[in-house]
């Protein structure tokens, strides 16, 4: 499947990548026990366990009480065992005797299924081990830098809310299972994260105070990650990112928008290095306030509170490549 969309509380939706972003099939989950994005992150790998992955055919009868959807443990001819979900089985009676009793099993496209995982950063060449002819790849592009927040204004009796910076978008994600040659080499380059935009300056004080507060500057976009002929640019965006089911770490997630009217705001947070996560938007500055004392022929403007500059947006993180494969 290409992706999985969870319906959350308050009519919100969040989408996670599936087992192959090039697939034309998608899945929607509407479960009353999945309320938040964190809830969805915790259950997405369990949902994916029924889609994609390696398929096995078992010719013998196996456990007669097993039904489709059950997890079977099978001893192989190589002295090992596998666990996989039964998605289909058949039964044929010949003269009252059960014959031709294949079961069809599938293993999930998650970390648990693979013997090895390689994480690539920066740029270079990666050579597949001898004998490996299939790899599962996740290409995560660089995250976008976020916008800076607007500077505060000078106010007397009017009202104005400086605009906080918008969050950046996480890097695009391309996921696929690739058939390769034994020992094949791939040139790769992880995308660069975008830069956060500068915060805007607050309005200047004068006689009268000026209405010249500056908007925050926009962040720049991250660049694509490439692996041989494959590119994250051909993938999709997932606001909640993708989750590593073993470590709980997430990649390619959007940042968070800045807050409005913050006293002396600090530079917004950047994406964690080498995750493709985006920067968060800069907070806007607080407004300043003044009073007016009116005299014949002139006004006296008195400062009551100083405005503050807007904060810079956070930088996007560089992209990453995650490769998984099994022993030959």
The tens-digit pLDDT sequence of the chain (328 residues) is 778 888 888 888 888 877 666 677 888 888 878 888 878 877 776 666 556 556 667 766 556 667 776 777 777 665 666 667 677 777 777 777 766 677 777 665 444 467 899 999 999 999 999 999 999 999 999 999 999 999 999 999 888 999 999 999 999 999 999 999 999 999 999 999 999 999 999 999 998 999 999 999 999 999 999 999 999 999 999 888 887 766 668 899 999 999 999 998 999 999 999 999 999 999 999 999 999 999 998 899 999 999 999 999 999 999 999 999 998 8
- Asked if residue 222 and residue 267 are part of one domain, the reply reads yes
Pick the closest to residue 188 from 228, 223, 224, 222 (CA basis). Answer: 228
* 12 is a domain residue: no
What pLDDT was estimated at residue 107? 63
Residue 190 sits in the same domain as residue 278: yes
Tokens of 180: 């390769």
Question: Is 35 inside any structural domain?
Answer: no
Reading the block at residue 228, the tokens are 């041989």
Query: What's the mean pLDDT when you consider all of the chain?
Result: 87
Is 214 in the same domain as 302?
yes
Same domain, 172 and 319: yes
170 in any annotated domain: yes
Domain end, chosen from 106, 123, 139, is at 106
Question: Phi/psi at 41 (nearest 5 deg)?
Answer: -60, -35
At residue 304, the pLDDT reads 94
- This prediction has a pTM of 0.72
pLDDT at residue 113, as a whole number: 64
- Let me know whether 189 and 321 are in one domain: yes
102 with 143, same domain: the answer is no
Q: Rounded to whole angstroms, how far apart are CA atoms 115 and 258?
A: 41
Please give the Cα distance from 64 to 215 (Å, whole number): 69
The residue segments making up the domain with residue 191 are 114-325
**How many domains does the chain divide into?**
2
């Amino acid at each position: 499947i290409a992706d999985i969309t969870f319906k959350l509380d308050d009519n919100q939706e969040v989408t996670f990548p599936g087992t192959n972003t090039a697939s034309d099939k998608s899945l929607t989950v509407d479960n009353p026990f999945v309320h938040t994005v964190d809830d969805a992150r915790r259950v997405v790998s369990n949902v994916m366990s029924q889609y994609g992955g390696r398929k096995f055919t078992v010719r013998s009868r196996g456990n007669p009480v097993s039904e489709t959807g059950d997890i079977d443990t099978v001893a192989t001819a190589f002295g090992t065992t596998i666990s996989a979900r039964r998605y289909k089985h058949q039964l044929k009676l010949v003269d009252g005797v059960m014959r031709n009793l294949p079961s069809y099993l599938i293993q999930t496209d998650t970390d648990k299924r693979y013997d090895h995982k390689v994480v690539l950063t920066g740029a270079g060449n990666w050579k597949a081990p001898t004998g490996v002819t299939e790899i599962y790849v996740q290409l995560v592009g660089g995250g976008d830098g976020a916008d800076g927040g607007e500077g505060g204004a000078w106010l007397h009796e009017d009202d104005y809310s400086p605009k906080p910076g918008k969050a950046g978008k996480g890097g695009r994600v391309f996921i696929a299972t690739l058939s390769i040659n034994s020992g094949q080499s791939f040139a790769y380059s992880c995308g660069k994260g975008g830069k956060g935009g500068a915060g805007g300056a607050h309005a200047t004080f004068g006689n009268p105070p000026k209405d010249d507060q500056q908007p925050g500057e926009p962040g720049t976009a991250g660049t694509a990650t490439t692996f041989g002929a494959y590119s994250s640019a051909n993938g999709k965006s997932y606001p909640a990112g993708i989750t590593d089911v073993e470590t709980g770490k997430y990649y390619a997630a959007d940042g968070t928008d800045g807050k409005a009217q913050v006293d002396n705001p600090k530079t917004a947070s950047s994406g964690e290095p080498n995750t493709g996560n985006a920067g968060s938007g800069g907070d806007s500055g607080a407004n300043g306030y003044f009073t007016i004392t009116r005299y014949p022929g002139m006004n006296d403007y008195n400062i009551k509170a100083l405005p503050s500059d807007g904060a810079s947006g956070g930088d996007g993180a560089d992209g990453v490549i995650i490769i998984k494969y099994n022993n030959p």
